[in-house]
A = this chain, B = another copy of it.
Amino acid sequence: MELNQVSYFINLAETLNFTAAARLSGVSQPSLTRAIRRLEDELGGPLIYRDGKNSRLTGLGHDVEAEFRRMVVAMKSVRNHSEHWAMGGHRVLDVAVAPTVGPKEFTAFFESALAEMPSIEIKLHSLQSNEDTSEVLSGKYHACIMPRETRPERKLDVHPLFRERFVLGCSANHPLAANEIVRGEDLLEFPFVDRLKCEFRDRILDHFARRDLLMRPRFRSDREDWVQRVVADGHAICILPERSPTVQGLVTRPIDGFVLEREVVIATVSGSTATVEIRNIAQLAARYEWN
């Protein structure tokens, strides 16, 4: 199957006339006829009843037309996207943020950045679970805000922003919330929610596994707010960074003997590849008072 066959057939379905469809498609009538014939051979059945001026699409023909139209729509979208990216005035800074990094500390920073650089817009993206700093190198994003990666990347400028611990999250009415500090082994008594999007998920699970604390979650999600709603409703508990945005009804407690920490950084392409705007925002972030 070829793409020209697709457009040929759509034109044929519209005109129900091989000659006219050929003219529409910008090819000779025999070419179009042969292309349709090949299509029919490949699909194993006729697409159109040939009957002079009373030609009609077959049942299969109708279904094929519908699917072909979808393909054409997708193809046009591809062209739209390419124009969008080609023309893309890079006045817009695409900034990606790791899912577990919350807005709390950043809104004020972005306010000041917008104030200092009046000519730019900031477009915030959520970093998907399969993405990392390489997306900056590939040009998908101009900057990345995320926990520091273990392996350093030479081609990136990485500015540290602040550090934070991991803590227990539970409902305000939860028994564990009664104490200011929680003991690690007490967590076992309660169902646990798995935050799939957490970059430290493996290290957290590992941390407990090493103490023979096996946590077996039945509910897992990559949607932070869903996880938190389950927790806030008292159905389960979870582990999350202390500065994470939390829904109403969810409280956090430090865990005794649990020392996992992370550093949040901003990563941009280094050196001359970066535009002025990108370098500016990286510098602003590095100089900012994150307290």
Given contacts A68-B74, A245-B229, contact A58 B222 (CB under 8 A): no
Which residue among A54, A124, A228 has the maximum number of chain B CB atoms within 10 Å of its CB? A124
B residues less than 8 Å from A218 (CB atoms): 114, 121-122
Inter-chain CA distance A226–B134, complex, in Å, is 23
Contacts A124-B220, A140-B59, A247-B245; is A64 near B78 (CB within 8 Å)?
Answer: yes
A103 to B48, CA, bound (A): 31
- A226 near B3 with CB under 8 A, answer no
Task: Say if the beta carbon of A63 comes within 8 Å of chain B.
Answer: yes
A73–B134 Cα distance when bound, in Å, is 14
Distance (Å) between the CB of A180 and the closest chain B CB?
21
Q: Could you tell me the distance between the alpha carbons of A62 and B143 in the complex, rounded to whole angstroms? A: 17
Alpha-carbon distance between A222 and B125 when the two chains are bound, in angstroms: 5
Q: Does A149 interact with chain B (Cβ within 8 Å)?
A: no
| CB <8 Å contact, A71 and B82 | no
Closest to A108 in B: B233
Whether the Cβ atoms of A223 and B125 lie closer than 8 Å is: yes
Kindly list chain B residues whose C-beta atoms are within 8 Å of the C-beta of A86. 43-45
Cβ < 8 Å to B, chain A residues 68-99? 68, 70-71, 73-75, 77-79, 81-83, 85-86, 94, 97
Q: Is A203 an interface residue (CB 8 A)?
A: no
Q: In chain B, what residue has the closest Cβ to A104?
A: B229
Residues of B within 8 A of A114 (CB): 218-219
Known: A103-B223, A123-B196. 16 other contacts (CB 8 A): A1-B3, A1-B78, A43-B78, A44-B86, A45-B86, A49-B139, A56-B134, A58-B85, A63-B85, A64-B82, A67-B81, A70-B73, A71-B71, A97-B226, A128-B128, A247-B248
